[in-house]
Homo-oligomer: A and B are copies of this chain.
Amino acid sequence: MKLYNFANATNPRRVRMFLAEKGIEVPMVTVDLMKGEHRTAEFLARDPAGRLPLLELDDGSFLSESVAICRYFDAIQPEPPLFGRNGREIAEIEMWQRRAELELYLPISNAFRHSSPAAKALQPVQVAEWAALCRERAAECMGWIDARLADRDYLAGEMFSIADITAFCALGLGTNTRTIEVASDLENLQRWRQIVGERPSATA
């Protein structure tokens, strides 16, 4: 088994953080997105969409999509549970994983792709007006995650989960690329970010 990875990309980071939480080690192969190595014939033969992360299984087949790769490892090794243990937890975590993904990560990612000169290669047609709407939406989402965290340790409740990984990596993308700022008055969000950032998995 091996994981095609790039240190500086957000989706591979989500999987690395998940694996670190599980204590699972998987051999990694670097595919340098900046050098366009995901566009080589060799890589496209593995994944026609040319995306990272990509998991190569021992039977030679491939699995794409960060959360799908995480679910694969979760099925192999359920502990610690990062997708929930019973119907209610599973649903609650899926709800917050989706919100973190659709309301925070996607807007931040779109704001970056549609406004940063550095993203021009990824997104040749950049729509500034769309980037502005996405920034607003991300700010709005940070507001209600902050409210949510007023009386909870983690997004889906008392248990650290995949939802926290998605939101944490999304904010990392947003602030590292200076696409967004996390307002200093969002104290719950700031506190949560600090606590998650102290987990050993945060540097995976």
Interface residue ranges of A97-153 to B (CB < 8 Å): 98-99, 102, 106, 125, 127, 129-130, 133, 144
CA distance A49 to B143 in the complex (A): 12
Nearest-neighbour CB distance to chain B for A142, whole angstroms, equals 14
State whether the Cβ of A68 lies closer than 8 Å to any Cβ in chain B. yes
Interface range on chain A: under 10, 10 to 19, 20 to 34, or 35 or more? 20 to 34
Establish whether residues A133 and B127, one from each chain, have CB atoms under 8 Å apart when the complex forms.
yes
By the criterion CB–CB under 8 Å, are B48 and A71 in contact?
no
For the residues of A in contact with B, the DSSP-based class is helix
Q: Is the CB–CB distance between B65 and A87 below 8 Å?
A: no
Cross-chain contact B67 with A98 (CB below 8 angstroms): yes
Check B48 against A69 for contact (C-beta < 8 Å): no
Cβ contacts under 8 Å, A98 to chain B: 65, 67-68
A87 near B76 with CB under 8 A, answer: yes
**A86:B75 contact, CB within 8 angstroms:** yes
The answer on a CB contact under 8 Å between A72 and B99 is no
Q: Which residues of B contact A86 (CB under 8 A)?
A: 75
Contacts of A68 in B (CB 8 A): 91-92, 94-95, 98
A90 at the interface (CB under 8 A from B): yes
- How near does chain B come to A92, taking the closest CB pair, in angstroms? 7
